[in-house]
Amino acid sequence: MRILVTGRDGQVARSLSEAAQGRSEEFVFVSRPQFDLASPETIRAAIREHAPDIIVSAAAYTAVDTAEDEPELARRINGEAPGILADEAARAGAWIIHLSTDYVYDGFGTRPWREEDPTGPASVYGQSKLQGEEAVREAAPNSHVILRTAWVYSAFGRNFLRSMLHLAETRSELRVVADQYGNPTWAGDIACGILAVVDHISASADDRLAGTYNLAGPEAMNWADFARMIFAESAALGGKRPEVVNISTVEYPTKACRPANSRLDGSAFAATFGFRTSPTRSNIEKVLSRIRKSDAAI
């Protein structure tokens, strides 16, 4: 079995590459310039060249604020390209596992979102990701698994945990929004969740598996509490521990509007694929230990 993963250096792609070590499938990672989501010909050419059995669609335009300034590019990459991937998959009899986001929800209320709840993205990024979901469902109705994840952190790339560590280098106090709630999700858990989907598809490519699922960390919290949890673990490893001051969204103006309630209910994924994400605190500890080791090696 061959699995083509879009993106190579992204948080999810890198974590998947590590989690897939020792597995029997062949994994192929494609990235720019040979594979460019903004260029449909390169998408179709890569799929035809590698002829995968499963496509993991992990590459995306993820700069939430910048997307407000380049909506057309964000829509091309996040909204249209996934439909091309899904179309190529369906033509070849392959499945597509496509990553989406909590930012497709409108953010009202306090109850964790279930998959069938109405969407209502408030940002260009969220709108473009929702457009991508719809394109995938339409092009590969019986052979897609869409995974809505959230607040991804890892030792790699750009993420809130790394931003916090970076800011802590120069500041003793950080002001962080405390009125947006969501489920921080370790990229390593997403990788394991994707492999659980792969196992189910391999065992029986039953079209009843097809659908949209939330796959997020087990605990919901606000960004300020997430920051405090990061610094508590970091301090235990000898790192800095700045004070985190709760602020409201209006006190931290950003170009994009983010949902106040981004909590995700992950029970459907656990029931269908038999995988549950692991506790946030221990994952933060793993990520911080890894960052410290790689910093020490430099």
Q: Catalytic residue positions?
A: 125
- Residues 265 and 287: their CA atoms lie apart, in Å, by 24
- The reply to whether 103 sits near ligand TDO by the rule CB under 6 A is yes
- Tell me how many residues contact ligand TDO (CB under 6 A): 20
Subset of residues 177 to 236 that bind ligand TDO, contact rule: CB under 6 A:
177, 180, 223
- Min dist. Cβ of residue 288 to ligand NDP (A): 17
- Residue 163's binding partner out of ligand TDO, ligand NDP, Mg ion, none, with CB under 5 to 8 Å set by partner kind: ligand TDO
Token pair 């750009």 in the structure block, residue: 158
Residue 181, classed as helix, strand or coil, is strand
Q: Strand pairing of 181-182 and 152-153?
A: unpaired
From the list 100-108, 135-143, 188-196, 198-206, the region that binds ligand TDO by CB under 6 A is 100-108
Residue 247, classed as helix, strand or coil, is strand
For 100-112, the DSSP string reads EEGGGS---SSSP
Q: Are 154 and 14 in contact (CB under 8 A)?
A: yes
Using CB under 6 A, list all residues that contact ligand NDP.
7-13, 31-32, 35-38, 58-62, 77, 99, 101, 129, 149-152, 157
Q: Nearest residue by C-beta to ligand TDO?
A: 101
- Residue closer to ligand NDP (CB basis): 9 or 243: 9
- Buried b vs exposed e over 65-74: b needs ≥16 C-beta within 10 Å? eebbeeeebb
Q: Are 164 and 227 in contact (CB under 8 A)?
A: yes
- The reply to whether 57 sits near ligand TDO by the rule CB under 6 A is no
- Residues 298 and 64: their CA atoms lie apart, in Å, by 30
- Min dist. Cβ of residue 61 to ligand TDO (A): 9
- Residue 38's binding partner out of ligand NDP, Mg ion, ligand TDO, none, with CB under 5 to 8 Å set by partner kind: ligand NDP
- Residues 5 and 47: their CA atoms lie apart, in Å, by 10
List 43, 46, 74, 150, residue binding ligand TDO (CB under 6 A): 150
The angle subtended at Cα 65 by Cα 63 and Cα 67, nearest 5°, is: 65
- Residue 177's binding partner out of ligand NDP, Mg ion, ligand TDO, none, with CB under 5 to 8 Å set by partner kind: ligand TDO
Binding positions for ligand TDO, rule: CB under 6 A: 62, 64, 101-103, 150-152, 160, 163, 167, 174-177, 180, 223, 252, 254, 258
